[in-house]
Structure 1
Amino acid sequence: MDYSKTILSIVEKYREPLRISMLNDDFARKADQRKWSKKEILGHLCDSAANNHLRFIQLLGSSQIVQIQSYDQNLWVAANNYQDGLMSCQDVLELWTLLNKQIASVVQSYADEDFTKQVELSDGRKETAAWLIEDYVEHMIHHLKAILPS
């Protein structure tokens, strides 16, 4: 599977519908203060991209099992202040787009053997780089479908 093309095709598929959805006033509206707005969900995908970008590069440069550290997703969304901070909805969309293009570029540079490199997850499970990339893609699609239900 060509993961870089998969990631780029997801960006291409969702970028314009996300932009159009932002024209609606409810994109940044919080229906419940305990849940993320659509803008914050997209921001969460930026945080996920930032964390996974680092992981994908660490894998590329490692000859040993790479320890994958989890991150506090709520802290990241709050710290980046996607809801009320300086970034507009369009800014968050652009950040998500560029981070994923950067990830696609990194993954494109992988040799076949890089996809078989091992990661150890925070629960002790061992998986491959290919699994990690697929998990990243599935996670992204899950949240994009939550933002843009059919």
Structure 2
Amino acid sequence: MQAAILKFEKLLNENVNHFPTLSTEVLEAKAAGKWSKKEILGHLTDSAIHNLVRFTEINYLEKPYHHRPYNQIDLVNLNQYQIMDPDELLQLWLVLNKQIVRLMKSVDEKALDYKIVLSDESVIDLRFLMTDYVEHLEHHINQIKS
């Protein structure tokens, strides 16, 4: 888990200063059927919101924990990330992720083995979900940086 946390912190630290260097035109440019870089950051914000809830709830709800999916496209559209102030969006994304880092650093070792049932009935554990969150974040950050 420590490696995932270090990678997570590095991603946050590197990109909190990089994102503001991107022009509005670059952030808002869209290809047909694709999200803009700004909308990708919005998607990462939605992901942070939902995963913060998951990472927290698993500690006190009945086990196994049942993972609730969310409609990513609808959320990006409903939250209007394309027209949101880029600095506000960046701060929202950053603060949510700093809280997730705090939670990951303090999670009980036994809790990492808590079982999570996905919508397709497959089973993972909290360790996998947290590590996968960092990988997902890295994937989308690379899209923003390209």
Matched residue, 1:46? 45
* Aligned-residue offset at 1:24: 5.2
Task: Specify every segment of 5 or more residues in structure 1 that has no aligned partner in the other structure, as ranges.
Answer: none
Q: TM-score, structure 1 length as denominator?
A: 0.90
Whether the 8 Å CA contact 1:30–1:36 is kept in 2: the answer is yes
Higher helix proportion (structure 1 or 2): 2
Q: TM-score, structure 2 length as denominator?
A: 0.92
Q: CA RMSD in A?
A: 1.4
Matched residue, 1:116? 113
Q: Please give the per-residue CA displacement for 1:101-145, whole angstroms capped at 9, x wherever unaligned.
A: 011112222111011111011111100100000111111111100
Q: Please give the per-residue CA displacement for 1:64-106, whole angstroms capped at 9, x wherever unaligned.
A: 110001100001001100112xx21111111111010011112
Matched residue, 2:18? 17
Q: List structure 1 segments (4+ residues) > 4 angstroms apart after TM superposition.
A: none
Residue 30 (str. 1) matches residue 30 (str. 2): yes
* Aligned-residue offset at 1:63: 5.4
Matched residue, 1:99? 96
Closer/same/farther in 2, CA of residues 143 and 132 from structure 1, 3 Å limit = same
Matched residue, 2:75? 76
The secondary structure found in structure 2 opposite 1:119 is strand
Identity of aligned residues (%): 33
Task: Specify every segment of 5 or more residues in structure 2 that has no aligned partner in the other structure, as ranges.
Answer: none
Pairs aligned (count): 145
The secondary structure found in structure 2 opposite 1:139 is helix
Farther-moved stretch of structure 1 (129-138 vs 56-65): 56-65
